[in-house]
Amino acid sequence: MLDSVVRLLDALLGWVARRMAGGMVCHVREPKRVGGEDDPAVYLTVVVENPQGQNAFVESFEVKMLDPFRAFATKYEYRSNANTTIHDLAVNIPGHGVSQPLIVIASFDRPLPYTSACRARIRAIGRGGFRRRWEEFSCGALR
């Protein structure tokens, strides 16, 4: 009886550990600061990795500025390439797979001088049950 309880607890703890360790991972490529001082934005090429065994569905992203100010982005635009806007983001990523590169443009409503570099983080938002995992990135100052 005790052996059965130990096996059950071991299986349950393993399931919880796998569930908590997962989460979609955003790999940021070529982060750039864009926009003006009064309407700053970041332009990112993002590839989302799904380390879990089941499909993951991404419906949006969340970007938070960390430095020189703290704020969430107020407006998002998604593109499949520099010229093609995606109006309704719906990305299905197979288990242990990666997405095609996506462009995320996140705008902020706080001023940011041209001379300022920035530090921010991004996470993918999707179907419930997946851990939302932040990934940090940096952008240089506008020239």
Q: What is the pLDDT of residue 18?
A: 45
Angstrom distance (rounded) from CA 39 to CA 33:
11
Q: Measuring CA to CA, how many Å separate 79 from each of 68, 82, 90, 114?
A: 26, 7, 12, 25
Angstrom distance (rounded) from CA 69 to CA 42:
14
Angstrom distance (rounded) from CA 53 to CA 101:
21
**To which CATH superfamily is domain 24-139 assigned?**
Immunoglobulins (2.60.40.10)
Residue 127's pLDDT band (cuts 50, 70, 90): confident
The domain spans of the chain are 24-139
The model's pLDDT over 46-61, given as tens digits with 9 standing for 90+, comes to 999 999 888 889 999 9
- CA 59, chain centre distance (Å): 11
CA-nearest of 88, 115, 91, 110 to 101 is: 91
Residue range 13-23: mean pLDDT, rounded: 52
Q: Which tokens belong to 71?
A: 């704020």
